[in-house]
Amino acid sequence: MKFKLLFSGALVAATLALTGCNDSTTSSDTNINATPAAVSEAELISAIRSSNPQLANAPISVVKELSEYGMVGLYEIILGGQTMVVDASGQYAVVGDLFALSTVTNLSAERREQNMERIALARLPQLNAEQVVTLPAANEVEQLGTVWVFTDPTCPYCQRFHDEADAYAQAGVEVIYVPYPRSGLMSGGRDYDQLTRIMCADDKAAAMHAFKTGTNVDDFNTVTVTDTCREHVANGFDLGQEIGISGTPFIVLSQGGILPGYNPAERIIARLRSAQ
């Protein structure tokens, strides 16, 4: 399920209702100056998951407790790529970003990128060779680093990235493709069907090249798709959702840094070199 889609329109109002000053359950004896009890990250995530069955398996990251901004008892979280502020009970939320008005700085966007990078660099190196498609760096050059790319073979900008695969190899950069069907995990979607065939191919790199370039596609259209290959695609998609990506390509650099969207190879290679 794409949890980032849960928070549009009426569903926000229905599942994440906001309290108002006319709440009939509010007692006149309530101490409005009381400081809400702090909760741990695990407690808050558990409370949010318990608030609605649709959130039971949603990817949730607690970004920051907001008392330093005068918002005692409130927490900034990212739920399926959507930033929101929730109370300590995990029952109520305001959807949107936090700004510093003095400088018109989007504080949420800065922290969101940091959080995405943290999760990506913690999780991506744990993927095994069966779960990804690897394009190795050339043997005769000094190894510069690794670039992980959440990719969809039907995405024009993913195809454009792939057109520069040789430039990465010759610069000593290993490219690791993580399968991410933009339309989700529905059989019948062109991106999903191509990715499952790629992950089941004897030569996954050749299959990825075929589908991205439109050459020799017939060699892979008859590949038998197994549940294991579907699981590899699902794992890539779920990891992308956990990180909070919203499109492809989504690029992660081994020396640190994330790049949502296509960037020219020369720019990425220069950034890897400058980080050495």
List the beta bridge partners of residue 62.
77
- Confirm if 251 and 257 have CB atoms less than 8 A apart: no
Cis before 153? omega within 30: no
pTM: predicted TM-score of the whole model, two decimal places: 0.76
Q: Which residues contact 228 (CB under 8 A, 6 or more apart)?
A: 130, 200
pLDDT digits (tens, 9 = 90+) for 71-108: 999 999 988 778 899 999 999 999 989 999 999 999 98
**Which of 57-66, 139-148, 212-221, 253-262 is the least confident region?**
57-66
Burial classification of residue 253, based on how many CB atoms lie within 10 Å of its CB (0-12 exposed, 13-18 middle, 19 or more buried)? buried
Q: How far apart are CA 99 and CA 108, in angstroms?
A: 7
pLDDT value for 24: 37
pLDDT value for 29: 44
**CA neighbor of 200 nearest in space, from 247, 232, 234, 163:** 232
Q: Could you tell me what percentage of the chain is helix, strand and coil, using 3-state DSSP and rounding each to the nearest 5?
A: 40, 20, 40
pLDDT value for 240: 94
**Which of 32-36, 139-143, 265-269 is the least confident region?**
32-36
pLDDT value for 112: 87
- Confirm if 98 and 109 have CB atoms less than 8 A apart: no
pLDDT digits (tens, 9 = 90+) for 207-252: 999 999 999 999 998 999 999 999 999 999 999 988 988 899 999 9
Is the predicted pLDDT of residue 4 greater than 50, yes or no?
no
- Confirm if 193 and 221 have CB atoms less than 8 A apart: no
pLDDT value for 246: 86
pLDDT digits (tens, 9 = 90+) for 163-173: 999 999 999 99
How does 211-221 read in b/e, with b if 16+ C-beta sit within 10 Å? bbeeeeeeebe
% of the chain at pLDDT higher than 90 = 71
- Confirm if 12 and 54 have CB atoms less than 8 A apart: no
Boundaries of every domain in the chain: 3-107, 130-274
Angle at 133 between CA 111 and CA 184, to 5 degrees: 60
pLDDT value for 9: 36
What is the DSSP secondary-structure string of 126-151? G--GGGSEEEPPPTTS---EEEEEEE
pLDDT digits (tens, 9 = 90+) for 193-212: 999 999 999 999 999 999 99
Residue located via tokens 């050749």:
206
Is the predicted pLDDT of residue 17 greater than 90, yes or no?
no
Q: How confident is the model at residue 34 (pLDDT cuts 50, 70, 90)?
A: low
Third-level CATH fold of 130-274:
Glutaredoxin (3.40.30)
pLDDT value for 272: 96
Averaged pLDDT of the chain:
87
Token duo for residue 55: 């959130």
- The count of residues in the chain is 276
